[in-house]
C-alpha cells in the first residue's frame, strides 16, 4: 500500500488583534535563531509577562509557525503549540517529543518540574512589550497614527488596560485619550486618599473591645518602626476579625488604617476571582500584594475571608484541587521568602471555623480577634456617631433596652430612619423617633426571661469544662421582635482554640456544650423548650452533625469505614439512608444530655446565680463566669480550669489523664 500524502495544513486563519501582534514580536525575537533555519528541530519554553494573557502568545506562536507544513508525509505533527501549566504540558508530552518544532507557553517557569524542563532546547522569559514592539505591531495590523511617543506611553501601562483600549474600530488617538483620562482620575483619587485626614480613629469608636486594644497597640508599633526604634519583626503581621454580620468588621479596617496614619488597600476572594480563571485569580492576588508592598506601610484588608475555605474540609467536592491552588497561592503571598515589611494583613469573616489553619500560623495571620455585639454603653456611643449633629435625648433607657442584640449596622439604620423622619417633619429630635424606627417588638415575660437566662447560663458553665472553648460574653435579650423572622433571644460569644488532633473525648465535650442550654432548662424546669432546635445553626443541629462525624468520619463509631456523604447536607443524607447510624447518633446525644444535666445539677447554685446576673444586667463577661465556677471548685480563678473528680466520673467513666489537664 502506498504511503498517503498529507496536504500542507496550517492553523486556522484568524484576524490578528493588537495583543496577538505584540506577542508575535516578542516570540519572533526569542525564536530568531531557529526561524532562520527551517530544518532545525527545537522545543522552546516561553514564560509570558504577568499582565498579558498567555492565550495571545499561544495564538501568536501558531500564526508564526503555522505558515509551514503542519504534518509530515506520515501524518505526524511537525508543529506543536502547548499552552498551560505542568499537567497540560505533561499530557501533551508525546506530541511535544514527536513534533519537529514545538513552542510551550507557560505563565511561570519556576512552577514546572525540573525534569519536565529538560525537554526544552531553549528557555526564554519574554520581556514586557517595548515601544519598538508596539510600533511594529501597529504597522502589522494596519493601526495608523501611532507615534514613538505614543508607544513609549503605552509601554509603561498595565497591558490589560492597553488591550481593552486599543481595539478594532477605534483610532489610536481616541484610545490614548481614554487611557490618559482614566489614569488622571485614578491618580487624583489616589492623591486624595493619601492626603485626607482621618475622620475617626479607634480612640473615637465604640464597641470594638479587644479589636480596639490590638489596633491601638499596632498603631504604636508601626509608629515606632517608622521612627527606627524597633524592627519589623517586632510588629504583628496581621489578624482575622470575626463576628456577626453588621458588627463593623469592614469599617474597622478603614478606621484602623486611619488610626495608624497609613493607606488601606481593600480586596476580597470574589474580587480576585472576578478576573477570570484560576491563573487570572492568582495573578490578581499577587498584584494586590505587590501593590501593598509598594504602598508600605499599609493595611491590606481582605473581606469575606472564609471564601478561601479549608483544604481539609469535605465540602469542596470537585473544587478541592482549585481550592488547594488558591490557598497555596495565598500562603505564598502571606509568607514570602523576603517577608512583607510594612504590610499588615487584616482579614474579616463571619465564620472563623472554616478557615484553613495554615493561614493562621505565626508570621501570617497570627490572631483571631472577635468583635462582640455592642453593650449598652457602646450602643449609645454608636448611636451618637450616626445621629450626625442631632443632639441625642437625655433619656435613652427605652432605646437601650429595645436595641439589645443590635449590631452597629442595625443602629446606623435606625439612626438614618430617625433623621429622615425629623428632617421631613421639621421638628426637634426625641427618643420616640428612635423607638418608631425600631421593628415592632414586645418584652419577654418574667417566665420567658428566666428560661432564656437559664439556657445561656447552662452553655457558659459547661463550657468551663472544655479547654478549647473560652467564653468571652454571655448575653440575653429582654425583647423579642414581632413577626415571622428568626429572633435571637440570647447567645454566648466565645473564642475557639481548634485542635489539629481532636480525640473522641474532646469532640464529645463540644457536644456537651451545645446541649448544655437544653440540659439547664431540664434541670430547672423539668423539660426544655424549642430554643435549642428548629434551625440549621441551632444547638441540636450542630450537636447532631458532630455526633454523626464522630460515628462516620473519624473512626470513633462501630467501624472504621469512612463515609463523607454527598450534597449540601451531606451528614443529614448519611443519617437518612442509614437507620443504624441514626440510632447511634441519638444514643450519643442522649448520653451527652445526661452528662450535662449531671454537671448542672451539681452546679445548680452557680447556674441560678449566673442566670440572676443575666436577668439583672443582660450581659456577663467570661471572666465573671470563670471566677464563679472556680470559686465552686475552691481553686484560684483561671481560664478553662481542670475538670474535677465528680465531673470526670460523670463523663462515662473516662480515665484518660489527658482530660484532666
Q: Residue 416: how many CA atoms within 13 Å on its side-chain side? A: 6
Say if 550 falls within a structural domain.
yes
Please report, to the nearest 10 degrees, the dihedral formed by the alpha carbons of residues 353, 356, 362, 366 taken in order.
-40
Residue pair 163/19 in contact by the 8 Å Cβ criterion: yes
345 and 392 in a single domain? The answer is no
72 and 220 in a single domain? The answer is no
**Predicted local confidence at residue 71, as pLDDT:** 56
- C-alpha grid cell, residue 19: 495583543
Residue pair 454/607 in contact by the 8 Å Cβ criterion: yes
Q: Give the span between the Cα atoms of 125 and 123, in whole angstroms.
A: 7
- Global pTM reads 0.52
Q: What is the CATH number of the domain that holds 421?
A: 1.10.8.60
136 and 250 in a single domain? The answer is no
Say if 186 falls within a structural domain.
yes
**Predicted local confidence at residue 592, as pLDDT:** 95
Say if 13 falls within a structural domain.
no
520 and 395 in a single domain? The answer is no
121 and 136 in a single domain? The answer is no
Other CB atoms within a 10 A radius of the CB of residue 127 amount to 11
Backbone angles phi, psi at 266, to 5 degrees: -105, 135
127, 130, 146, 148: which is closest to 138 by C-alpha?
146
Say if 603 falls within a structural domain.
yes
286 and 397 in a single domain? The answer is no
Last residue of a domain, one of 127, 144, 171: 127
116-154 pLDDT per residue, tens: 788 888 888 888 888 888 888 888 888 888 888 888 888
487 and 614 in a single domain? The answer is yes
**Predicted local confidence at residue 500, as pLDDT:** 64
Q: Give the span between the Cα atoms of 617 and 453, in whole angstroms.
A: 11
As a residue count, the chain comes to 661
Which stretches of the chain drop beneath a pLDDT of 50? 1-13, 74, 188-198, 315-316, 635-661
Which CA distances in Å does 72 have to 3, 41, 58, 98, 99? 11, 13, 22, 11, 10
362-390 pLDDT per residue, tens: 888 888 888 877 777 778 888 887 887 77
Contacts of 78 (CB under 8 A, 6+ apart): 68, 69, 70, 71, 72, 99, 100, 101
221 and 348 in a single domain? The answer is yes
**Predicted local confidence at residue 595, as pLDDT:** 94
626 and 526 in a single domain? The answer is yes
Last residue of a domain, one of 332, 352, 370: 370
299 and 434 in a single domain? The answer is no
Q: Give the span between the Cα atoms of 422 and 640, in whole angstroms.
A: 50
Residue pair 607/519 in contact by the 8 Å Cβ criterion: no
- C-alpha grid cell, residue 64: 508564526
Measure the N-to-C terminal CA separation of the chain; round to a whole number of Å.
85
Say if 541 falls within a structural domain.
yes
Cα angle value 537/539/540 (rounded, 5°)? 100
Domain extent for 45: 18-127
* Helix or strand holding residue 338 (H, E): none
Say if 9 falls within a structural domain.
no
152 and 242 in a single domain? The answer is no
**Predicted local confidence at residue 192, as pLDDT:** 37
104, 99, 72, 67: which is closest to 85 by C-alpha?
104
**Predicted local confidence at residue 645, as pLDDT:** 37
234 and 318 in a single domain? The answer is yes
**Predicted local confidence at residue 660, as pLDDT:** 29
Last residue of a domain, one of 438, 471, 490: 438
Say if 546 falls within a structural domain.
yes
Say if 56 falls within a structural domain.
yes
Other CB atoms within a 10 A radius of the CB of residue 157 amount to 17
**Predicted local confidence at residue 185, as pLDDT:** 61
Amino acid at each position: 500500500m502506498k504511503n498517503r500524502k498529507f496536504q500542507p495544513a496550517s492553523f486556522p486563519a484568524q484576524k490578528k488583534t493588537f495583543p496577538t501582534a505584540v506577542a508575535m514580536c516578542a516570540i519572533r525575537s526569542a525564536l530568531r535563531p531557529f526561524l532562520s533555519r527551517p530544518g532545525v528541530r527545537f522545543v522552546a519554553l516561553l514564560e509570558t509577562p504577568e499582565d498579558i494573557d498567555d492565550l495571545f502568545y499561544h495564538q501568536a506562536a501558531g500564526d508564526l509557525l503555522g505558515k509551514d507544513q503542519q504534518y509530515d508525509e506520515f501524518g505526524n505533527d511537525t508543529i506543536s503549540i502547548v499552552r498551560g501549566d505542568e499537567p497540560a504540558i505533561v499530557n501533551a508530552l508525546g506530541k511535544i517529543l514527536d513534533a519537529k518544532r514545538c513552542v510551550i507557553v507557560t505563565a511561570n517557569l519556576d512552577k514546572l518540574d525540573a525534569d519536565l524542563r529538560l525537554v526544552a532546547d531553549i528557555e526564554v522569559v519574554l520581556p514586557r512589550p517595548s515601544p519598538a514592539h508596539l510600533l511594529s505591531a501597529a504597522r502589522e495590523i494596519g493601526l495608523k497614527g501611532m507615534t514613538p511617543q505614543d508607544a513609549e506611553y503605552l509601554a509603561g501601562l498595565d497591558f490589560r488596560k492597553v488591550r481593552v483600549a486599543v481595539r478594532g474600530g477605534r483610532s489610536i488617538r481616541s484610545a490614548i485619550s481614554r487611557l490618559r483620562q482614566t489614569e488622571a482620575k485614578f491618580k487624583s483619587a489616589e492623591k486624595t486618599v493619601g492626603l485626607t485626614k482621618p475622620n475617626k480613629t479607634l480612640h473615637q469608636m465604640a464597641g470594638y473591645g479587644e479589636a480596639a486594644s490590638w489596633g491601638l497597640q499596632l498603631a504604636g508599633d508601626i509608629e515606632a518602626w517608622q521612627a527606627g526604634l524597633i524592627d519589623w519583626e517586632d510588629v504583628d503581621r496581621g489578624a482575622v476579625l470575626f463576628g456577626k454580620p453588621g458588627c463593623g468588621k469592614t469599617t474597622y479596617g478603614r478606621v484602623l488604617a486611619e488610626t495608624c496614619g497609613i493607606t488601606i488597600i481593600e480586596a476580597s476572594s470574589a474580587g480576585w476571582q472576578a478576573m477570570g480563571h484560576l491563573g487570572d485569580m492568582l495573578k490578581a492576588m499577587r498584584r494586590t500584594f505587590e501593590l501593598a508592598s509598594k504602598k508600605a506601610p499599609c493595611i491590606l484588608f481582605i473581606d469575606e475571608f472564609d471564601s478561601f475555605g479549608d483544604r481539609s474540609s469535605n465540602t469542596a467536592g470537585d473544587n478541592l484541587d482549585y481550592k488547594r491552588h488558591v490557598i497555596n497561592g495565598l500562603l505564598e503571598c502571606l509568607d514570602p521568602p523576603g517577608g512583607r515589611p510594612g504590610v499588615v494583613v487584616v482579614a474579616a469573616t463571619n465564620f472563623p471555623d472554616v478557615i484553613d489553619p495554615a493561614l493562621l500560623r505565626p508570621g501570617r495571620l497570627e490572631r483571631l480577634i472577635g468583635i462582640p455585639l455592642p453593650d449598652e454603653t457602646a450602643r449609645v456611643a454608636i448611636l451618637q456617631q450616626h445621629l450626625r449633629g442631632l443632639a441625642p435625648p437625655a433619656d435613652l433607657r427605652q432605646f437601650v433596652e429595645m436595641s439589645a442584640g443590635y449590631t452597629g449596622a442595625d443602629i446606623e439604620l435606625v439612626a438614618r430612619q430617625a433623621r429622615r423622619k425629623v428632617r421631613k417633619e421639621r421638628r426637634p429630635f426625641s427618643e420616640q423617633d428612635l423607638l418608631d424606627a425600631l421593628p415592632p417588638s414586645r418584652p419577654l415575660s418574667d417566665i420567658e426571661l428566666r428560661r432564656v437566662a437559664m439556657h445561656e447560663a447552662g452553655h457558659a458553665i459547661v463550657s468551663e469544662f472544655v479547654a478549647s472553648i473560652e467564653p468571652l460574653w454571655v448575653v440575653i435579650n429582654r425583647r423579642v421582635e414581632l413577626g415571622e423572622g428568626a429572633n435571637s433571644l440570647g447567645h454566648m460569644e466565645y473564642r475557639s482554640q481548634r485542635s489539629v488532633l481532636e480525640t473522641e473525648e474532646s469532640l464529645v465535650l463540644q457536644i456537651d456544650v451545645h446541649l448544655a442550654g437544653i440540659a439547664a432548662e431540664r434541670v430547672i424546669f423539668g423539660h426544655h423548650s424549642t430554643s435549642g432546635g428548629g434551625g440549621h445553626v441551632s444547638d441540636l443541629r450542630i450537636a447532631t452533625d458532630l455526633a454523626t462525624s464522630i460515628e462516620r468520619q473519624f473512626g470513633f463509631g462501630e467501624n472504621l469505614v469512612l463515609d463523607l456523604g454527598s450534597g449540601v447536607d451531606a451528614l443529614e443524607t448519611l443519617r437518612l439512608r442509614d437507620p443504624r447510624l441514626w440510632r447511634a447518633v441519638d444514643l450519643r446525644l442522649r448520653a451527652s444530655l445526661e452528662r450535662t444535666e449531671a454537671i448542672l445539677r451539681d452546679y445548680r447554685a452557680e447556674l441560678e446565680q449566673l442566670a440572676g446576673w443575666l436577668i439583672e444586667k443582660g450581659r456577663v463577661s467570661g471572666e465573671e463566669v470563670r471566677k464563679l465556677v472556680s470559686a465552686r471548685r475552691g481553686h484560684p480563678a483561671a481560664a478553662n480550669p481542670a475538670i474535677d473528680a465528680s465531673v470526670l466520673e460523670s463523663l462515662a467513666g473516662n480515665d484518660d489523664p489527658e482530660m484532666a489537664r
